[in-house]
Structure 1
Amino acid sequence: MNLEGFFLTNKDALHDASELWGSFKDEVLYKNRFIISHEVLDYITNLSENHKTIIESERVLYRARLFDGDVSAVRHLNDLAKNDENNSGNSSFTLEHAFFLQHYNLKRDPGFWGYNKQESFIPLKNDFINDGRANPAFIKYLYTAEDAYTAMVEVRPYLKSVVSIAEIRVNSPITVADFSYESLKDLQSVGEILMYLIMNDFSKPANSDKKSYIPTQYVAEFIKTLGLDGIRFNSSLHGQGRNITIFDYKDCEPVSSSLYEIDDICFEAKNIAPKGLPDLLHDKLLMARQKEVDNILKRN
């Protein structure tokens, strides 16, 4: 089901859910900030109790950051490690590595090719924490994705930018409110559509208007008071991707990081108005679709 069909099929429930969410945002923005009583919180309580996911121990999640370090130095270090591996069967540090690290002032932990272990995690000091979609300023949350690709696109990289992607291991099981959904057709009740609207706001890109963060921050803090460790929701940048924001991250640990350079960015846009114009597709997508058509014709 596309978005247009979803709106037409569920217009009454969508109207009610939109009214509720709009009323809640107005309440926390302009009337009461810290202690409120609102019907939306009843829905969130019910949804959180009935939609939970356990992130099992040893599960690996991913956290990405745009890399602003010396990429050429890291490439050279990687070449040195590869030479060692080819010559001795392992990638242990040599004296040449040590001099190189000292020269470039690289604080590299074994297994971390992008940011080091600490830089791949959360800043140590709360004073460095800015407002986020889920966290208020000075309160640390861990933002992760379930796969490396989703983590990468969530930082909105540009062509030729370099992204450091860290693997974050969950060392003990954590329980999160699962507000994700597989298809729009699964959302029919007022509560389910309300969940969609809230998570849609969670997925919006960061901007300078910190006021827009307040409603989602309140929701996250409220879910935390229910005894849950985080929130799982759909990525707005990767259709199959899922993000997990973790409140209680003490049992999570960065175990490695890798660097990726952005070679290409593919978009697909559907014509809305005026009708009759072609959809806009990246050349790679056009070629892939043509290949699918050719394969179908060959089979027939």
Structure 2
Amino acid sequence: MESNTKSNGFVAWPCRITEGEKSSLSELSSCIYSATPSDTRQQWADFVNKFKTRRFFVDEEEILLKHHVTQIIRDNVYPISHAETFYRARINREDNTSFKNEDLEAPPEHLVGNGRLNQRRVRCLYIADHPKTAIAEMRPWRKALLTVAEVRLKSTITDPINVIDFVPKTTDSPDSFKRIIGEFFSRPVRPDISDLEYLPTQCIAEFVKRNGYAGIRYESAVNPGGVNYCLFDPDCMEIKISHEIEVTYVIVESQKAP
């Protein structure tokens, strides 16, 4: 099969959108793009570098969003059902007074800071696949006391909600857009420059949200093998405190820098 067009190393192939596809994606996905390894990494680097000279906004004509992220969305829908349990954690207060269930909900708008997938004052709910992941995300210290809550989809929501899975699979090419973006989602970020470093992932999250999905699934930056979720509707889950824990030790592994 011969390609129809070529531009900057990208090959466009015609494809069909099934009747069940979202209309918004149908409008954006008139073709599938592929690229060489150097093309994918260069285009992602160009996308990230744009945020160093401009503030965050979603340009839906941006090629990376319009074609490559759209293709990831179409191929990686992950449903969350009522049968699944997730977790949140919070470091206890200094006086160790007990938390209520609502204390582990997403904070009110005026207290929301910049996050990996949300802008300041934009509420969302970050949850984890396992208590260990939720605890690790708090960056606790030895002897720290934390409260852990179980999180489930509210019974008032009748159907599963769909998030987009950016966790790389073993079958994903090392230079695929999904792996590159997925690894960027879970890359540790220095707190002093997080406002800038989070802009590309915030942009992709907003694009996913505009296409009608409930959130994003991505690897944890602090617990290898752990998975986090960012849900755009912070009030779609029921949160119930389950237990308290004390951190017994913190492991730090290192190697000599090159």
- TM exceeding 0.5: yes
Matched, 1:194 2:180: yes
- State the partner residue of 1:119: 103
The residue number in structure 1 matching 2:212 is: 227
Residue pair 2:153, 2:238 contacting (<8 A) in 1 also:
yes
- Structure 1, unmatched stretches of 5+, are 1-11, 72-105, 107-113, 274-300
- The alpha-carbon distance between structure 1 residues 182 and 239, as it changes in their structure 2 partners (threshold 3 A), is farther
Q: Could you tell me how far apart the structure 1 residues matched to 2:179 and 2:168 are?
A: 11
Report the secondary structure of 1:150's partner residue: helix
Structure with greater strand percent: 2
Q: Once structures 1 and 2 are overlaid, which stretch shifts more, 151-160 or 185-194?
A: 185-194
Between Structure 1 and Structure 2, which shows a larger proportion of helix residues? 1
Per-residue deviation at 1:33? 3.5
Q: Which residue matches 1:39?
A: 63
Confirm or deny: 8 A CA contact 1:21 1:198 kept in the other structure. Answer: no
Partner residue in 2 for 1:61: 86
Distance 1:196 1:187, change over 3 A: farther
- Hey, what's the Cα distance between the residues in 1 that align with 2:55 and 2:196? 14
Give the aligned partner of residue 8 of structure 1: none
The structure with the largest alpha-carbon Rg is: 1
TM-score with structure 2 setting the length: 0.75
| 1:101-147 deviation line (CA, Å, top 9, x unaligned) | xxxxx5xxxxxxx5211111112x31121111111011101011011
Q: Once the 2 structures are TM-superposed, how far is the Cα of residue 238 of structure 1 from its aligned partner?
A: 2.0
Identity over aligned residues, as a percent? 25
Determine if contact 2:168/2:179 at 8 Å carries over to the other structure.
no
Q: What is the distance in 1 between the residues matched to 2:221 and 2:183?
A: 12
Q: What's the TM-score once normalised by structure 1's chain length?
A: 0.65
Q: Do the aligned residues in 2 keep the contact of 1:20 with 1:39 (CA within 8 Å)? A: no
CA contact (8 A) 1:180 1:232 kept: yes
Aligned mates of 1:246, 1:64 — CA distance in 2? 16
In 2 relative to 1, CA 122–196 (structure 1 residues): closer, same or farther, beyond 3 Å?
A: closer
Query: Any idea what SS the aligned residue of 1:208 has?
Result: helix
Please report the RMSD computed on the Cα atoms of aligned residues, expressed in angstroms: 2.2
- Name the structure 1 match of 2:162: 175
Among 128, 134, 144, the residue aligned to 1:161: 144
2:58–2:207 CA contact under 8 A, matched in 1: no
Amino acid paired to 1:240: G
Paired residues in the alignment total 216
Aligned-partner residue type, residue 208 of structure 2:
I
Residue 140 of structure 2 aligns with an amino acid whose one-letter code is P
TM-fit CA distance, 1:189: 4.8
